[in-house]
Amino acid sequence: MEENLSFDLYHPQPLMVVISGPSGVGKDAVVKALKARNLTFHFVVTMTSRVPRQGEVEGVDYFFNTRENFEQLIAEDEFLEYALVYEDYKGIPRSQIRQALSSGTDVILRVDVQGADTLRRLCPEAVLIYLIPSNEAEWLERLRTRKTETAESLAIRIQTARSELEHLAKFDYVVVNAHDRLDEAVDTIIAIIDAEHHRVEPRKVCL
């Protein structure tokens, strides 16, 4: 007698999705557009020791903290990952990741390239997506029109971002975020996540 085949095999596991790329590539814009789709993702809010920029909202853009308090949290091992970036700390609170994954929800993190490199070592099964502009001229114009940098700090960001392109091989996917084509980049990211949920051998992300 033939055994009945079981089709009860498809149980998508929650993913940790890391969105990264050089400064000025539009990481924040991509995450904002993903949020606007009202999908069942948990968007991790990074903590930083820098002061808020105009229009930034506590608990939405970042959790803002003093340098002293941030260093205390580091001592207490309260961050999955943290780094000193442009003289300010940025870190990912462990509790957000653990709670979301435990509930079966995909986690979306927006981090700089240095942070993504660290996450690859800590959580090798995370899905790493690297955003790039369509060309260098467009990217440099984005940086200049932000008007949040001094001439000196802008030069540092440009130099750093160019060196960050050398890390591309450490990522799983590359997505072009071209000017006025934000929706295409978001559609591609959603398609990547959907495809990852259909892997025969699902990723086993860390808690």
Active-site residue 144, yes or no?
no
Residue of 53, 162, 181, 199 marked active site: 53
User: What does the block give as tokens for 194?
Assistant: 């959907």
Residue of 37, 67, 94, 157 marked active site: 157
Active-site residue 53, yes or no?
yes
Active-site residue 146, yes or no?
yes
* β-sheet with 127-132: strand ranges across: 41-43, 106-110, 16-20, 127-132, 173-176
Residue recorded with tokens 């934000």: 182
> Can you state the percent helix, strand and coil of the chain, rounding each to 5?
40, 20, 40
Collapsed DSSP state (helix, strand, coil) of residue 34: helix
The Cα diameter of the chain in Å comes to 78
d(CA 191, CA 200): 17
Residue of 37, 144, 146, 181 marked active site: 146
Catalytic annotation, residues: 53, 146, 157
